[in-house]
Amino acid sequence: MADEPTGGTHLSLVIAGLYRIPFIEAENIKKDIHKEEENMMLVRPVLEKMATIVKKHIYGYDVDQIYFVGGTCCLNGVEKVFEDILDLPVNKPENPFLVTPLGIAMGSLK
């Protein structure tokens, strides 16, 4: 198993740095659906880096598709960035925030 530090926090840091605003303001901008297209242009390099990290870690494994969870994948078009780099289909649930709570609930039924 491998992990490298990147994700939603890094997207917010990019926005905060660009606009020279506090992190919490950047978080709010990142989540603003009215700024989604602009945000994707700003954070695309971070998403590409994330996809490159995934590509490195799945190399040599028989992976035929990727499944997204969590807040970062709520950005419209994030799956296309990953698909272009990974050359694999990327699946994004309708509500990525519910994946973890639903998994915990299902696991508790055993």
pLDDT for 1 equals: 61
The model's pTM is 0.82
Helix and strand tally (H, E) in the chain? 5, 2
Give the whole-angstrom CA distance, residue 76 versus residue 37: 8
Q: Which domains, ranges and CATH numbers included, belong to the chain? A: 8-107 (3.30.420.40)
Spacing of C-alpha 41 from chain mean position? 14
Output the pLDDT for position 70: 81
Confidence grade of residue 102 (pLDDT, cut at 50, 70, 90): confident
pLDDT tens digit sequence for 5-54: 788 899 999 999 999 999 999 999 999 999 999 999 999 999 999 999 99
